[in-house]
Amino acid sequence: MSETSHPQVVAGSPVLQAFARAPGAFYLLAIMGIALTIWTPGFFTAANLTNVALQVAVLTIVALGMTLVILTEGIDLSLGPVLGLCGVSAALLVSQGHPLPLAIGAALGIGVCFGLLNGTLVAVAGMPPFIVTLGAFGIAQSVATVLTGGDSVTNLPPFFRWFNDGVFLSLPVPIWATAAVFGATWLLLYRTKFGRYVFAIGGNRRALVLSGTRVQIYHVAVYAYAGLLAGVASFIMTARMNAAHPTIGVGIEFDAIAAVILGGTSFEKGRGGIAGTVVGALAVGVLRNGLNLLGVGTEWQVAIVGIVIISAVGLDSLRRLNA
């Protein structure tokens, strides 16, 4: 084998090609895992890794819904406050003695209603997603504040803690919930007509319209599904805090967008998928956990996450240009 042919063999290696196509979150997660294991002895322990997994559960569920929205070239800034409103509604109902199924139905219904509102204004009325969901952000947070008077909802019944503390077949309930949501989202996105249309809405909406497909229905359904998942995540977050607060979810939409983008999903042309989103959510979760272990204040963490996002997206853009 000549020296000139050797690089071609290496470049054509399936393993190296897979690494070249891997999203920035994969490299970020690997680098942070190694660095934090060296710098913070408490990082690579069973207790801390379990804590990271439980913290990432809520983010992953929200980010999976955000992935579908971004695949349609949209964005949903309201998912954090909607999550908070769902949690507040469920907490108020159970704390007043109403049955748990009613609380679950109310929270999920609120999430879906906000998704339907956002989707209708975006897909049917043609309004910009940023403006629509920013408005929904304010509405959800205001309603939650009015319902609670700005205070936390406490005195939750002990059974509500099951959504965070419960264990089934040796695994915590939040892990099962995340796996179930991932499985359902995977089936929807890769095994149904709905999923094909999600990619097409972002990739080639005009062709979909010309084919006679009722694009608006599927587009609205994407936002409704994202709202539904925000409702699901609200139970885990509320149970973990053992209280509900109007602002408990504010900011998670930022981390969800970060997870989706780090996971390789693009705002253009319907490129990406949910596997990368899970890696992206893990990367964001590990980053925040590492910053906490290193004693970095919360006021700096958002800025650092933002810098990491810009850097990762910039490197991915350069990699695609040189590919």
Tell me the residue ranges of DSSP E strands in the chain. 167-168, 171-172
Q: Which structural domain, as residue segments, surrounds residue 59?
A: 42-314
Is 2 a member of any domain?
no
Q: Is the pLDDT of residue 202 over 80?
A: yes
37 in helix, strand or coil? Answer: helix
Is 7 a member of any domain?
no
Structure tokens at 105: 């139905």
pLDDT digits 0-9 by tens, 274-309 = 999 999 999 988 888 888 888 888 778 888 878 877
Is 13 a member of any domain?
no
Is 162 a member of any domain?
yes
**CATH number of residue 300's parent domain:** 1.10.3470
Is 15 a member of any domain?
no
DSSP tag of 83:
H
Determine contact, residues 232/177, Cβ cutoff 8 Å: yes
- Name the domain count of the chain: 1
Determine contact, residues 45/36, Cβ cutoff 8 Å: no
Determine contact, residues 76/133, Cβ cutoff 8 Å: yes
Question: Cα–Cα distance between 318 and 60 in angstroms, integer?
Answer: 27
Residue 16: pLDDT band with limits 50, 70, 90? very low
Is 91 a member of any domain?
yes
Is 8 a member of any domain?
no
pTM for the model stands at: 0.89
What's the whole-number average pLDDT of the chain? Answer: 87
For 86-116, give the DSSP string.
HHHHHHHHHHTT--HHHHHHHHHHHHHHHHH
Is 22 a member of any domain?
no
- The 3-state secondary structure of 261-274 reads HHCCCCCCCCCCCH
Q: How many residues does the chain have?
A: 323
